[in-house]
């Protein structure tokens, strides 16, 4: 009887909702965020998908951005009501108390699948870089194959970026100046950094550029580039670049 009781307790523990090696997905919020059976929100590491809801002031408004619903539907088909395995990296949670992880359904790597289908873009931030090289290759493959986002939208010019806030786009323009602050390198595409398009490379991402012998503040100055990512509003439109593979030189 004691043995049976012990095995029952052991089995219950292993199948509990806090066992991230085997846990059910309760709800899909969007392309890169899900709710697990224990009520915890999981944000996929290394990728970014278009937003279904946009934050305005303190509230979120249902305002799907281009490819947001496609990414959510793909994610739903992959994981909703299924048991998944969550693999963590260095940081287990973010500033919003969400779990950060890599999601697997049996042998299918969900984060990677969304990138490969062109429904997500690379968004790898140190120290969570376990699969960074794989993600880079999958994005390059999707872009060359013109899958999803990459085959739908034309490249936009830097002076038009302000029209696409919260959208994931590829932006082209000339870096007219650069600035290195104590926290980041800024690639400026206009003379007024308060309203012109900017690419921001935070210090914790600089090592990825330096591994490729790129010192961003010097290397990109005066060059025409294309950069991919989510366009955000902060002193004008900006894209945060965490990898040199988000930026491509364009021959004049």
Task: Please confirm whether the linkage preceding 216 is cis (ω < 30° from 0).
Answer: no
| 115 Rama class: left (phi>0) / alpha (psi -120 to 50) / beta | alpha
CA torsion, ordered 27, 30, 33, 37, to nearest 10 deg = 0
Q: Residue 116, SS3?
A: helix
Residue 178, C-beta contacts closer than 8 angstroms, at least 6 positions apart:
185, 186, 187, 188, 216, 217, 218, 220, 221
Q: Residue 161, SS3?
A: helix
Neighbour tally for 166: CB within 10 Å? 16
Note whether 102 and 207 are within 8 A (CB). Answer: no
Q: Residue 210, SS3?
A: helix
Sign of CA dihedral 43, 44, 45, 50: negative
Positions annotated as catalytic residues are: 43, 51, 98
Q: Please give the angle made by the CA atoms of 109, 120 and 232, to the nearest 5 degrees.
A: 140
Note whether 169 and 150 are within 8 A (CB). Answer: no
Note whether 134 and 163 are within 8 A (CB). Answer: no
């Amino acid at each position: 009887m004691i043995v049976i009781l012990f095995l029952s307790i052991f089995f219950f523990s292993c199948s509990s909702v806090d066992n991230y090696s085997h846990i059910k997905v309760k709800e899909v919020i969007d392309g890169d965020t899900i709710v697990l059976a224990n009520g915890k929100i999981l944000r996929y590491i290394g990728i970014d998908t278009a937003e279904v809801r946009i934050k305005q002031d303190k509230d979120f408004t249902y305002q799907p951005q281009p490819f947001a619903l496609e990414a959510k539907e793909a994610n739903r088909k992959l994981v909703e009501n299924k048991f998944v395995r969550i693999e963590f990296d260095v940081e287990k949670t973010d500033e919003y108390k969400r779990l950060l992880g890599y999601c697997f359904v049996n042998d299918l790597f969900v984060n990677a699948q969304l990138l490969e289908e062109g429904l997500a873009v690379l968004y790898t931030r140190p120290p969570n870089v376990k699969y960074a090289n794989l993600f880079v290759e999958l994005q390059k493959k999707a872009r060359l194959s013109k899958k999803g986002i990459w085959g739908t939208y034309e490249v936009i010019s830097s002076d038009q970026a302000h029209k696409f806030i919260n959208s994931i786009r590829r932006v082209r323009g000339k870096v007219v100046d650069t600035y290195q602050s104590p926290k980041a390198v800024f690639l400026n595409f206009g003379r007024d950094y308060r309203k012109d398009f900017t690419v921001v490379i935070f210090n914790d991402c600089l090592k990825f550029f330096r591994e490729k012998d790129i010192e961003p503040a010097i290397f990109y100055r005066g060059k025409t580039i294309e950069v991919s990512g989510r366009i955000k509003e902060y002193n004008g439109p900006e894209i945060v670049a965490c990898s040199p593979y988000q930026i491509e030189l364009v021959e004049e």
